[in-house]
């Protein structure tokens, strides 16, 4: 790191890019879905919650296998040429993060105080404002869900390895690099990369904590 090893920085950059893509997609899709799941009462809500909660424990290698099967040249999405690319890994990581974001957003919304609705309506909120303000009021819970999802995305190996192929300069992420270095017997390098991962997680958590304090 200190010596400015280009290969290491490439892996860090790949990790940040791919986790950025997957977190962006999972939050855009997952927060509205999670909010609806927690906010509205509808038939089949309970079983759906159970399905989402179960999907939170999806094994990364299983997701990797499924995405590989879809993206491989003979697979249904083979024409897009996404196998062994960062967007390909991002698809897999989005599938990994989505149940976490949906499930924890729904839980945050369900635990929202019913008095909030009365307070907002008493102050003149219309349906759209009620929805947006309720979403804003559950921001801390949603943020907690996003951090949990980010933790899973950042630390997974299965998807990155199977869908990305661990190609140097292209799809090698920090976690796949650690796996490779460990296989090579370079434990010191593996530990150093692990510490980098930890440092990134620390920076993210500090930023989120500052955001929470401010808003």
Partner 1 sequence: MKHAYGGRMVLSIEHLTFAKASIIGLRGPNGSGKSTLLRLLGLIEKPVEGAILFNGQAVEPFSPEARFRISLLPQEPFLMKRRVFGNVAYGIKLRGDVADVTERVHEALSLVGLSHGDFVRRPWYALSGGEAQRVALAARLALRPNVLLLDEPTASVDIPSAELIREAAFKAREKMGTTLVIASHDWQWLYEVCDQVFHLFKGKILGTGRETILFGPWRRVDSGMWGRRLGDQQFIVASRPPSDEAAAIIHVGSIGEDNARVDEDDAVLKGTITRINLERNSGKLFATIVVGDQNFIVGLTQRQTQERTLFPGKEVFIHYCLKTIRWV
Applying CB under 8 A, which of residues 3, 4, 47, 124 lies at the interface with partner 1? 124
User: Count residues contacting partner 1 (CB under 8 A)?
Assistant: 19
Applying CB under 8 A, which of residues 61, 66, 110, 137 lies at the interface with partner 1? 137
Please tell me the total number of residues recorded for the chain in this structure. Answer: 215
Q: Enter the tokens of residue 120.
A: 């907002």
5/15 Cα distance (integer angstroms) = 16
Q: Enter the tokens of residue 32.
A: 């509205």
- Considering the rule CB under 8 A, would residue 51 count as an interface residue with partner 1? no
- Part of the chain binding partner 1 (CB under 8 A), chosen from 49-57, 59-67, 136-144, 147-155: 136-144
Rounded least distance, CB 135 to partner 1, Å: 12
Rounded least distance, CB 154 to partner 1, Å: 28
- Considering the rule CB under 8 A, would residue 117 count as an interface residue with partner 1? yes
121/171 Cα distance (integer angstroms) = 50
Rounded least distance, CB 129 to partner 1, Å: 6
Q: Residues 146, 27: contact at Cβ < 8 Å? A: yes
In which residue are the tokens 């860090």 written?
A: 12
Residue ranges in contact with partner 1 by CB under 8 A: 113, 115-127, 129, 133, 137, 139-140
């Amino acid at each position: 790191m200190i010596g400015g090893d280009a290969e290491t920085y490439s892996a860090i950059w790949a990790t940040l890019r791919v986790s950025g893509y997957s977190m962006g997609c999972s939050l855009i899709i997952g927060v509205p879905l999670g909010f609806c799941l927690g906010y509205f009462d509808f038939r089949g809500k309970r079983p759906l919650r159970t399905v989402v909660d179960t999907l939170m424990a999806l094994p990364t290698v299983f997701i990797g296998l499924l995405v590989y099967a879809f993206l491989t040249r003979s697979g249904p999405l083979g024409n897009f040429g996404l196998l062994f690319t960062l967007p390909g890994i991002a698809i897999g990581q989005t599938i990994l993060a989505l149940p976490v974001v949906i499930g924890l957003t729904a839980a945050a919304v369900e635990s929202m105080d019913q008095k909030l609705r009365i307070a907002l309506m008493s102050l003149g909120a219309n349906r759209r404002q009620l929805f947006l303000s309720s979403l804003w009021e559950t921001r801390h819970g949603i943020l907690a869900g996003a951090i949990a999802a980010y933790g899973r995305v950042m630390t997974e190996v299965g998807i990155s390895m199977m869908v990305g192929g661990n190609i140097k300069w292209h799809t090698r992420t920090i976690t796949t690099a650690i796996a490779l270095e460990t296989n090579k017997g370079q434990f010191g390098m593996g530990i150093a990369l692990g510490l980098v991962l930890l440092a990134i997680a620390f920076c993210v958590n500090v930023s989120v904590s500052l955001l929470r304090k401010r808003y």
